[in-house]
Chains A and B, each alone.
Chain A
Amino acid sequence: MFYVLPRFNYYRPNSLDEVLKLINELENYKILAGGTDLLIDMRIKRYTPRNIVDINRINELQYIREDNEYIRIGSLTRLQDIIESNIIREKLPLLYNAVYNMASWQIRNRATIGGNLCNASPAADTAPPLMVYNAKLVVSSINGSREISILDFFKGPRETDLRNNELLVEIKIPKPHIHGYSYRKIGRRNAFTLSIVAIATYVEIENNIFRDVRIALNSVAPKPVRAWSVEEYLKNKRIDREEIYKASELVVKDISPISDVRASADYRRKLSIILIRETLFEASKITG
């Protein structure tokens, strides 16, 4: 196909230090990771950056590691590598499920987890699982590094807490306790589609009581959100069908969906309730 991109200067640094130096100096730049969001956005002229900083040579940002406390994922790690990792499949099943349902094999081989987060689409599919795992994002600049809770990272559609000279380098996930979980993504078709709603549900259960409940959804607000009202309502309650029904209705307080070509706000609200119910049943292993 024949399309043109706006003109730009192209930089391809060889080390993380070089990247950090470059982005400290450059104005009006964009980081290029997999490019599966950026190139399309440039084609439709959502962004017309004067400078492009390609980070694909920074191999040190591609890894999945596990230590005593954390599972660490380098920001340039490809989505396909995430679903092929035993660590992720065994320890972070919600992330595995979410990435498994993203895009296609071809796209997943380019697309990175850092790109998905920094793009900050309300429909970003890695967000809900990382939000229920309370992930931390490590960002670096020439001045050093800092950590941002993923719960504070998204500011609105395509807006993040990143400062102009900062790069996302690592996603750091506290190793979860034993938990029940359930993931659902509803798109307009069964595969290769953007979410109308995706939901990650995490529960810790003790003696038939919800000790911890964490639920996150995307595409139902300007940014991915936690269903705080539902969580609060259920915490320390017995597992009970009626309670789950009641709790799920509370999600409407946590979300603010819009109507667009993908779905109406009403449908998104309805789906959110249904999916919370359904995933809670599944996560706590009771039948609806």
Chain B
Amino acid sequence: MSIEDPYELLSKWFEAKEYLVVGKSVTRSDSIEKAIGKARFLEDYYEPGRMLFVKQLLSTEPHAIIESIDYSDALKLTNIVGVFTAKNIPGINNVGYALPDQPLLAEGKVRYHGEPIALIASWDIDDAFKALEMIRVKYKRLTPIYDPLEAMERKDILIHDEQGSNIAFTTKVRKGDIERGFSESSTIVKNTYKTHHQEHAYLETEAALAIPDIQGRINIISCAQYPHLAQRIVSKVLGIPASNIRIITPYIGGAFGGKDDEGPLVAAKAALVAYLTGKPAFLIYSREESIRIHPKREATIIEYTSGVDDNGYLKAIKVKIIHDTGAYTNRGPYILWRATMHSSGPYYVPNAWVDGYCVYTNKVPQGSFRGFGNPSIQFAVESQMDELAKKLGIDPIELRLKNLLRPGMDTITGQKLDHSVGVADLVDKLARKMEWSKVRRELEDWNKRSNRYKRGLGIGVAWHGISTSRGVPDWSNAYIKIERDGSVNVYTGIVEIGQGTPTTSYRQIVAEALGAPLEYINVVFGTTDAPDTGATHASRGTSIGAIGVLVAAAKIRERLNRLASDILKTNPENIVIRNGRVFDKISNREIRWEELIQEAYNRGVEVSATGYFYLPKGKFDDKIGQGFAYPAYSFVAVAVLVEIDTWTGKVRVLKAWPGLAAGKIINPTQVEGQIEGAIAQGIGYVLYEKLEFGSKGEILNADLTDYVIPTIQDVTLDVEKPVYVEDKYKYGPFGAKGVGEMAFIPLPAAIANAVSHALNKRVTTLPLTPENVLKLIGGL
């Protein structure tokens, strides 16, 4: 018998001392295709005239009863096949992820300006647009609420009547005794922080193409970040079994969480039209529709009090987190959970009292976006740390090093972290390497000489729990089969959204575990033909998604080792398979990989396997606000140097020093790509981007003319090579933890701290647009 137990297999490969391809900067298999423009994205599958073009009718009211929808005139247009509303949905018109509060198409009521109401199906585009103008919706207006603080108070205006309150969801953490903690504190800092929405602005807007096939199934080419979730949602909306729905994803032009929320809904809308008409149906969002419809990064208000004792040790925190979740909760409760669980930052805090509120307003919903509730709370935490350091008169790094979590300590939810806690090492290593104290001193001198321009250095340190919050089940899986010629197919539900997970780390992990040449490995990604792998979100594509890949490959490897030992007449432990060579390390007898696989087929050794792994977790007790939060944490620290033009208020980030404690780094180039991308996106969020809302709660800048994202000219900073602390996590593939979201998370904090340092004024509100900076200085 070979070993098939996933725990044993994982720990065997975890112990690896040498690697063939893991840890190397292997080139992505999709890079050439993408560079020369051959890679196909969703829109490339649209054939005008041969499929229905679907156009959405959106609400122009923020809060209103729908009295009637009259589309009789639209139906008279020659190319219009149908107009579909909530009443045409054969299954369940409810697509809320966390709470059952959201319809696919508005039913009875609209709750935000931009909410989808109807789908127009047309053979040609012109008629679709004409029909849009001909549909008459009669509304009875209700009073809208846009301010979450007002929404919390009001009982007379309810955005969701069935909830009985505009507070959709609450969270809490309770640890120790904060009154005692604050009484032991000699220095207390209290501030209120505000953060704003962020639009994902992916290059490719949302789209889906649904094609009914001869077997009565519906195939959907989708941009969802989780094919199996899209399948579940479509199944629910259509009322047909999930097995009749097949999801495939082509290359996706960016997602950042936005297509985790919206992707399945786009698939469901296209599928609904295909199901009702029997024709292939293509739906694509225009840029304006994309910005108006899909959920945004959380806008928050955070009240934060923290206390330290004379020695600089944190004694207590009291935190109130308010998330403006907009018209629907979408993933708001999960986002709030994450913010709540992370509200101490990566520090040891003996006494904590945290309350979170997820509040409805008549605006675009809140949703998933790189960091998922964490960047805003880390901004508050890290601003507090700098203020405490300032009051204590000690260096910000020194204060952090005193309080950072170390192995064996427990978090604010009372969870003991026994291993894979490299954050203190990381901050220490980063500070030394970048010569933090020297740079800071030099800057302060520079500022004495400079009148108009001021420079500042700031750091943000953060943690990010890997996998879903609390005890929510999470697992990994994959299916691998070796073809007769020795080439390998790997099936995964993880998608390719630009990050390169299936096209790099998966190939590396399989090549490492099987010993097959890297170029033999083909990954079939983003499909429900693969076992449910979970979503490509939460930095889990490699960290969790690839556990299944490793387990499946390792199972086959055990079988191949036995087979090879039979052929080469040696023990399985002596078998080495390296880059297609199979040999006995004692006798050096050798066969080729192809021969080995041929023998497997001849002798009846199975060369296919699944790699199911269920992540062990604990329980979180909502009543006492304590318990298990996450199986492991990735840690990140980014220091930035900024320069401020005090005349115009313009902030420039000149340099960034990133550091990561994310376990084993499987592919350094890919990780650097994630870090640099996150820094650019973070600079955009903090310095440039801001949604503007009009008097109807409508987004005034729902286009890329006025929603300003940075160009290459705005991210001219130097990004230093990252510092890594490889604090391996025992269940991660080769000890890897998550990377994708990491560098974004501390960035608002780092920039705000640098600006505060330069100006000697505390930043509490984002974004730091030139106007807001001038206001902070008192120049406006």
Interface residues of A (CB under 8 A from B): 1-4, 186, 188-194, 261-264, 266-267, 270-271, 274, 278, 288
Contact = CB atoms under 8 A, between A and B. Distances in A.
A125 to B, nearest CB: 15
Q: Which 10 A-B pairs have the closest CB atoms?
A: A191-B713, A190-B713, A188-B708, A4-B129, A261-B692, A267-B771, A274-B647, A189-B714, A191-B711, A190-B714
Contacts of B705: 194
13 contacts: A1-B287, A2-B284, A2-B286, A186-B650, A188-B708, A189-B708, A189-B711, A192-B711, A262-B706, A263-B771, A264-B771, A267-B770, A270-B780
Nearest to B647: A274
A243 to B, nearest CB: 19
Contacts of A188: 688, 708, 769
A4 B126 contact: yes
Interface of B: 53, 125-126, 129, 205, 284, 286-287, 452, 647-650, 688, 692, 700-701, 705-706, 708, 710-714, 769-771, 774, 779-780
Nearest to A104: B711
Nearest to B704: A192
B286 A3 contact: yes
Identify which of A186, A191, A194, A270 gathers the most chain B CB atoms within 10 Å of its CB.
A270
B47 to A, nearest CB: 13
A12 B271 CA distance: 44
Contacts of B692: 261
Contacts of B125: 2, 4
Given A189-B711, A267-B774, 15 more contacts: A1-B284, A2-B53, A2-B286, A188-B708, A192-B711, A192-B713, A261-B700, A261-B701, A261-B706, A267-B649, A270-B774, A270-B780, A274-B648, A278-B647, A288-B452
B682 to A, nearest CB: 15
Nearest to B652: A190
Contacts of B710: 189
Contacts of A191: 711-714
A17 to B, nearest CB: 35
Nearest to B650: A186
B714 A271 contact: no
B711 A267 contact: no
Nearest to A191: B713
A3 B771 CA distance: 35
Given A1-B286, A189-B688, A270 B713 contact: no
Contacts of A270: 774, 779-780
B314 to A, nearest CB: 38
A231 B544 CA distance: 67
Contact of A266 (B287, B452, B713, B780): B780
Identify which of A2, A191, A192 gathers the most chain B CB atoms within 10 Å of its CB.
A2
Nearest to A188: B708
Nearest to A288: B452
Nearest to B699: A261
Nearest to B127: A4
Contacts of B647: 274, 278
Contacts of B774: 267, 270
Contacts of B708: 188-189, 193
Contacts of A192: 711, 713
Contacts of A190: 711, 713-714
Contacts of B205: 1
A119 B711 CA distance: 26
Nearest to B205: A1
Contacts of A288: 452
A6 B502 CA distance: 44
A216 B710 CA distance: 28
Contacts of A186: 648, 650
Contacts of B700: 261
B127 to A, nearest CB: 10
A270 B688 CA distance: 19
Contacts of A1: 205, 284, 286-287
A271 B769 CA distance: 14
Contacts of B711: 189-192
Contact of B648 (A2, A3, A193, A271): A271
A50 to B, nearest CB: 17
Nearest to B694: A261
B717 to A, nearest CB: 12
A207 B102 CA distance: 74
Contacts of A262: 706
A190 B711 CA distance: 8
B780 A267 contact: yes
Nearest to A262: B706
Contacts of A261: 692, 700-701, 706
Nearest to B703: A44
Contacts of B129: 4
